[in-house]
Chain A
Amino acid sequence: MIEMPSKLKILSITLTILFLIPSVVFLTYAADEEYVLNIGRDQDPDVLNPFTTTAAASGNVIEKMYETLFYVRNDGEFVPWLADSWEVSDDAKEYTFYLNEDAAWSDEEPLTADDVVYTFQMLMDNDLEPSTTREIVTVEALDAHTVKFTTNSSFVPFLYRAGITYIVPEHIWSELDDVIAFTNNENPIGSGPFVWDRWVEGQYVSLLKNENYWKGEVLVDKVNIITYRSTDAQALALKVGEIDVTLTDPSQVGTYVGVKDVSIDQTNVNRLCYMGWNLRRWPFSSNEVRKAIALAVDRRDVVESAYLGYGTIGNDGYVAPILGEYMNPDTAWKGLDMTDEERYAAANKILDDAGIIDTDGDGIRDDGAGNPCEADMLAASSSAFLRTCEVVQEGCEAIGIKINLVPREIGTIIVDVYGLGEEYEPDFDCYYMTCGYILDPDYLYMEYFSDPHVIGWNGYSGGYSNPELNDLLILARTTGDIDQRIEYVHDIQEIIAEDLPALNLRNHVALTVYRTDKYDNWQLGEDLLSIYNILQLEPAGPEEIIVTETVTETVTEQVEVEKTPSWVYALVGVLVIAVGALGYMYTQKK
């Protein structure tokens, strides 16, 4: 047997040491600062320009530095923010906002009506936020703290839309050559409770508390928005306390169950999960086919098997319960209290009565002219999406309608279905998609108004048009009287439930997982990543953490000390393995 050369011995030892060095480095790891809130995200921000960003993670950063005239809570309440109060004229054409006189930018310049006027004028000049700004005729500062908007026509949703628009500092943004090309990625100046610290691209964004915040002292010293590209790593990070709060999805919920100091919050959001169809094509051109499918597809199964019970059953009126009184309870899913057999029987009857029967005995109904009830369904390749499409397929199969699933990447489905303006010809049968909307029923106008169509939205891509609905949609956005508006929105839902331009299968809920050992007073039911929640967090008392008997299981600043034994065990383990391996090699060569 040959002896290992001395050079190789040295090399082996060097390699072993190389692997062990990082363990020693661990000793130098810096502990968290006193009140740091670590937020986990699955993506990195793109740009921090509030008007051009398309990344949700950018939104998480921006809303901590920039502010809006008011904050809209999930229960629909407008919480005064930069504006203390506001007035709407009887004809819903004039909107006046009264700004808080203490409001100031983080560079200590005062935030005045001129900044608000500049922001909206800049948006109008650059055709940004068009759903809001295209309705504006004039925006003027009545005095240093009062801004008045005049709109083209009565436009009730304007209050909501203007109220949630970020206000930017005129003294900085007016110096820019091109606001669209402005990334705002370096030291953004806003009025919010947090100011810029740093962005290490692909890794994290750090924000420090604004020491001069105009609304008062901020308790959280620092917010880190940390990027985890693996959901598994993100889950581990929350469990060990490396992050305090993050979004999750139904498939991950199980990993958090039973974990000490970890809770999950379900928040209703205005996001609908729907089946879209092309009304220009058979079989979805038939209202009877759409109605039969609406009955046959088991929406309970969608919620239970595709989303593991998270979410609520979608209604036919295309409005979720989060919109409160705006939702018409009469447009609930008709199959809600029916058994499978009853639903299939009712759906079959609709089709039979319409003469859509199986004339050639192949098990698939047809229109009598040889056109079978068969369609391709674009199915995005996520497990929840695919399972939903399977539920649709099963329901349709039970009533003699054949659905072929066509797996596609979600971006491709969006392009295929919604296209891009006048250059696009809708070329699809049906698909499954989710879409988030504003907390105002005006999204129904965007979806289904067809005179002219809002290009790129469901009504246009599906080829749906109903003049009666158009009239009601206009009335709903121009009627200032809230009771009257609710009535119009209910009528709109009646028509949508009758025409079924899209099938709302499920109302989404956002799942947020958070730790309870570091902060108290989480605003459950709200967006726990939002500034509204963060400003109300109260650090949990340190004695509460120290006194707890199970403190060794809780990885926080105090528990940092407890890591050492594990570290020693691991180090010893690695050393034993390394020495053993070298020893074995040595004995082999003897």
Chain B
Amino acid sequence: MGMKDFIIKRSMFALVAIIVVFVFNFILPRLMPGNPMLFIMGGVKLQPETREMLKLRFGLDKSVWEQFIAYTRRTLQGDLGISFSHYPRPVTELVLSRMPWTLALLIPSVLLSATLGIIIGVFAAWNRGGKFDTAVTSIGLFIWSLPFFWLALMLLLVFGYYYPIFPLRGSVSIGMDYPNFLSFFKDWLWHSTLPIISLTIWNYAGYALMMRNTMVDTLDEDYIATATVKGLSERTIMFKHAARNALLPVVTQITLSLGFTLSGSIFTETVFSYPGIGLLTYDAVMSRDYPLTQGLFFISAIAVILANLFSDILYARLDPRVRY
């Protein structure tokens, strides 16, 4: 099987997964006890006329098949419905307005944590059994075992309260008018540092431990011994022979985490009152906003599926053995 066939095959799997998620997303709320109207209204007591009007607006007076066809048509047009808790604002608009904030948090934190994790993991494995390795492994395990929200709260307490270097909330200062992008960027960076650091520290531990462990296994391989006997420099063996091969599982982990962190940023955004997708998801669940929850679930699922696809393709690109 060539690379092209492999990509086509993997893409088809991803497409099937997206269709399954799409259907599941429609069925799930309808399988819940009671009828959808109960969930639309939540605990709100409405007059019968208002209820009828909302039934018409949300198409709940039609049969399930008609609803499914309408749902399919709308989704293909990028319309994920109307939010109940932000009525009458469209779900797509709400999600798109929050998405940039989350991506601005996740991309730097994943890049930073992956870079740090890989480099430190490589050095720890190379010096395995030494002080540096012991320090990296124990600190990594310690961080990895910490509840994430606790870590975030401690950072907030130390750097927002005892040493108020960073703000306690949000992504921008209150009432600020920005004359140019740079001033906005500086303000955002000031607000985002603690969330980014907390995500970075936490993710770093996972990457560093994984990189260290796979690198240790790789260093025992015969081709490393061969490279040493050949008289190659330590740097060449370390990075070109060992690290490159040890990197594969870590790369998979990084790409997958990109997909999952979209929804996994809930804790970070809640602790730091950061207005991203995670907080929107939390609000949607707490306010029983089913269209918004469905929309976010759908988008998160697609993100994970696409990240998985990307990971498969990247893996195949890095390791030619995979696709055969």
Contacts and interface: CB of A to CB of B under 8 A. Distances in A.
Interface of A: 1-5, 8, 11-12, 15, 18-19, 21-23, 25-26, 28-30, 33, 38, 43-44, 46-47, 52, 54-55, 127, 130, 180-181, 183, 197-198, 200-204, 206, 222, 224, 226-230, 232-233, 236-237, 239-240, 242, 411, 414-415, 418-424, 455-457, 555, 563, 566-567, 569-571, 584-585, 588-589
Nearest to B126: A2
Interface in B257-300: 269-273, 275, 279-280, 282-283, 286, 288
B38 A567 contact: no
A181 B88 contact: yes
22 contacts: A5-B235, A8-B119, A11-B119, A127-B47, A130-B47, A202-B279, A203-B171, A222-B175, A224-B175, A226-B169, A227-B169, A228-B169, A236-B157, A240-B168, A411-B43, A414-B43, A415-B34, A415-B39, A418-B43, A421-B51, A555-B164, A588-B127
Given A204-B174, A420-B51, A584 B157 contact: no
A431 B229 CA distance: 76
Contact of A570 (B34, B112, B163, B279): B163
A30 B38 contact: no
A183 B88 contact: yes
Interface in B167-216: 167-176, 183, 186-187, 189-190, 192-193, 197
A584 B47 contact: no
Contacts of B112: 15, 18
A233 B272 contact: yes
B122 to A, nearest CB: 9
B87 A47 contact: yes
A203 B269 CA distance: 11
Interface of B: 34-35, 37-39, 41-51, 53, 85-89, 97-98, 112, 115-116, 119, 123, 126-127, 130-132, 153, 156-157, 159-176, 183, 186-187, 189-190, 192-193, 197, 234-235, 238-239, 269-273, 275, 279-280, 282-283, 286, 288
Contacts of A414: 42-43
B136 to A, nearest CB: 10
A204 B153 CA distance: 21
Contacts of B98: 202
A43 B284 CA distance: 12
A29 B239 CA distance: 43
- Kindly name the residue among B44, B87, B176, B234 whose own CB sees the greatest number of chain A CB atoms within 10 A: B87
Given A30-B173, A204-B174, A230-B153, A420 B45 contact: yes
A203 B276 CA distance: 10
A25 B176 CA distance: 14
A43 B156 CA distance: 19
A569 B273 contact: no
A585 B131 CA distance: 10
A569 B164 CA distance: 11
Given A25-B187, A29-B173, A127 B156 contact: no
Contact of B132 (A5, A421, A566, A585): A585
Contacts of A419: 38
A566 B161 CA distance: 10
Nearest to A227: B273
B37 A423 contact: yes
Given A180-B53, A567-B165, 16 more contacts: A1-B127, A25-B187, A52-B87, A203-B171, A204-B170, A204-B174, A226-B169, A230-B153, A233-B169, A236-B161, A239-B161, A240-B160, A411-B286, A420-B51, A457-B45, A584-B132
A108 B288 CA distance: 40
B215 to A, nearest CB: 13
Nearest to A14: B115
B207 to A, nearest CB: 14
A292 to B, nearest CB: 31
Contacts of B85: 46, 54-55
Contacts of B273: 202-203, 227-230, 233
Contacts of A197: 175
- Kindly name the residue among A2, A12, A130, A419 whose own CB sees the greatest number of chain B CB atoms within 10 A: A2
B275 A29 contact: no
